[in-house]
Amino acid sequence: MVSIGAKKNRYDAVVFDLLTALLDSWTHWNRIAGSDEAGLRWRMEYLTLTYEAGAYRPYEAIICEAGDRAGIPARCVDALQASWSELKLWPEADAVLDELARRVPLGVATNSSERLARIGVMAAGGRFAAVATAESAGFYKPRPEPYRQVLEKMGVSPGRVLFVAGSAADVPGASGVGMPVYWHNRRGLSAVGNIAQLYTEHSLEPLLDLV
């Protein structure tokens, strides 16, 4: 881990993963699934399917397939999608986003479908200059296409953009296209792949010392 206190960097933009870095989708999935254990089982199947998918196939179908693999009742799968607008920001995220948006443009790169991404972005306050989805990019993260698409939309160089990861696979994914990565590892997940220029924190608040 890089010590934030040791070095402060100035970036031209900040790009976020949506469903884990900004929104507490873990708690929401667990509630819909009926328990933390069932929610985690469902979420892990969902992550595996998106990471393995590569080229885009319908995101909502992946949620359903993951639920089936995890033994989640179909009514819960339907309820998750119907309640997408109920996703909540992490407690400190609103204030952090407000302050960051005064300093630099903000973007999102998400594995959501276009439809669910629009809902999730509004749940996050809609402060974003650009949004790239797996559907619009044609591929799921950690493939490079969604990261590159948001960079192109924002007209910024990857080396000058801080990517805020939530899921472990976003770290090598964003690093692979040249973005320095801040891993908001709220859940204490294990790292995967090769990691470059990484800040690891359990909160979003230290971003204000970096940007």
Q: Where are the domains of the chain?
A: 4-24+87-209, 26-85
Phi-psi region of 179 (alpha: psi -120 to 50; beta: other; left: phi over 0): beta
CATH class label, 4-24+87-209: alpha beta
What would the pLDDT profile of 80-131 be if each residue is shown by its tens digit?
A: 999 999 999 999 999 999 999 999 999 999 999 999 999 999 999 999 999 9
pLDDT in the model for residue 188: 84
Integer angstrom CA distances of residue 16 from 31, 66, 79, 142:
24, 24, 26, 14
Above 80 in pLDDT, residue 194?
Answer: no
Among 74-78, 145-149, 164-168, 193-197, name the most confident range: 145-149
**Model's pTM, two decimal places?**
0.92
What would the pLDDT profile of 95-105 be if each residue is shown by its tens digit?
A: 999 999 999 99
Q: What is the dihedral of CA 132, 111, 86, 96, to 10 degrees?
A: -60
Please measure the distance between the N-terminal and C-terminal CA atoms of the chain and give it in whole angstroms: 18
